[in-house]
Amino acid sequence: DGGITQSPKYLFRKEGQNVTLSCEQNLNHDAMYWYRQDPGQGLRLIYYSQIVNDFQKGDIAEGYSVSREKKESFPLTVTSAQKNPTAFYLCASKGGRTSESTDTQYFGPGTRLTVL
């Protein structure tokens, strides 16, 4: 089945540790995204990538890093510089060229990160 996978579903880390969240898609989508969602709030864009080896900062990129070495994979590292890392992290992908504006975005099931 085609889709987006994120692992693990729940992740616990000690304060001061870097942690990398996995996101893989087999939809052959060019664009991939990372969002953060805090309780009772909407999604805030951390980073997105439109093509392999390229990515752009979103609204809240500080304390995070990403890589896009393969089309299928867009891992997110939450570094110790991120002051409030506990949140629900959602990865998404989107197909089509930028001019194909009706292409929709599909989400993975998310990873709940808790920093103790």
Partner 1 sequence: RKEVEQDPGPFNVPEGATVAFNCTYSNSASQSFFWYRQDCRKEPKLLMSVYSSGNEDGRFTAQLNRASQYISLLIRDSKLSDSATYLCVVNKNNDMRFGAGTRLTVKP
The nearest distance, CB 101 to partner 1, in angstroms, is 4
List 98, 113, 114, 116, residue binding partner 1 (CB under 8 A): 98
Which two three-digit tokens encode residue 4? Answer: 């987006």
Taking the C-alpha atoms of residue 73 and residue 26, their distance in angstroms, rounded to an integer, is 9
Stretch 7-26 residues interacting with partner 1 (CB under 8 A): none
The nearest distance, CB 10 to partner 1, in angstroms, is 11
Which two three-digit tokens encode residue 75? Answer: 């891992």
Residue 111's closest CA among 5, 4, 9?
Answer: 9
Q: Does 68 bind partner 1 (CB under 8 A)?
A: no
Taking the C-alpha atoms of residue 53 and residue 70, their distance in angstroms, rounded to an integer, is 8
Place of tokens 């864009």: 45
Q: Does 53 bind partner 1 (CB under 8 A)?
A: no
Residue 73 DSSP symbol: B
* Nearest 10 degrees: Cα torsion 31, 107, 6, 59: 60
List 2, 14, 83, 101, residue binding partner 1 (CB under 8 A): 101
List 56, 70, 81, 114, residue binding partner 1 (CB under 8 A): 56
The nearest distance, CB 37 to partner 1, in angstroms, is 9
Q: Give the residues lining the site for partner 1 (CB under 8 A).
A: 31, 33, 35, 41-45, 48, 50, 56, 88, 90, 92, 94, 98, 101-102, 104-110
